[in-house]
């Protein structure tokens, strides 16, 4: 049997019923500072006033703190080139959206071709 998710002693349903400022009181210090100063941000209000759920939530803002009302949604975060989908899970609470979308590609080191310079052995690949 799977264990129920708990954050600071609260279940997910209890956390989702809390207002943003109530959640900020139990969040870690960095998230608490961000949420108390930016609680009226339109991005957070999009989730607080859950009247009409958006089809596709896209943002360039990588400094958004993940809150309980975002759990279960997919948010498309810009990595500098394209929007990458991030499905929000309960374990992501109090983390920044930018932590889940990398801005650089992994480099795969390969063998240089004929007439290649030594610096061309690092070839960028998508993964």
Domain residue extents for the chain: 6-124
Instruction: Provide the token pair at 13.
Output: 């349903």
List the one residue out of 120, 85, 119, 121 whose CA is nearest residue 101: 85
Contact status, residue 16 vs residue 69, Cβ threshold 8 Å:
yes
pLDDT of residue 40: 87
| DSSP label at residue 72 | T
pLDDT, tens digit (0-9, with 9 covering 90-100), for 58-98: 999 999 999 999 999 999 999 999 999 999 999 999 999 99
H or E element: which one contains 122? Answer: strand 122-124
**pTM for the whole thing?**
0.79
Main-chain dihedrals φ then ψ at residue 32, nearest 5 degrees: -60, -45
pLDDT band at 53 (very low <50, low <70, confident <90, very high): low
Contact status, residue 107 vs residue 123, Cβ threshold 8 Å:
yes
Instruction: Specify the pairing of strand 74-78 against strand 57-59.
Output: parallel
pLDDT of residue 78: 96
> Domain 6-124 adopts which CATH fold?
30s Ribosomal Protein S19; Chain A (3.30.860)
Per-chain mean pLDDT for the chain: 86
């Amino acid at each position: 049997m799977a264990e129920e998710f708990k954050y600071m002693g609260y279940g997910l349903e209890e956390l989702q019923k809390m207002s943003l400022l109530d959640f900020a009181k139990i969040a870690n210090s960095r998230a608490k500072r961000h949420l108390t100063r930016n609680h009226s941000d339109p991005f957070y209000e999009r989730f607080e006033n859950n009247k009409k759920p958006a089809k596709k939530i896209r943002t360039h803002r990588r400094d958004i703190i993940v809150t309980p009302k975002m759990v279960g949604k997919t948010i498309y975060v810009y990595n500098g080139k394209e929007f990458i989908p991030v499905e929000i899970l309960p374990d992501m609470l109090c983390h920044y959206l930018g932590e889940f979308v990398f801005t650089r590609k992994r480099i795969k080191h390969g063998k240089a071709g004929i007439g290649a310079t030594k610096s061309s052995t690092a070839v960028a690949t998508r993964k």
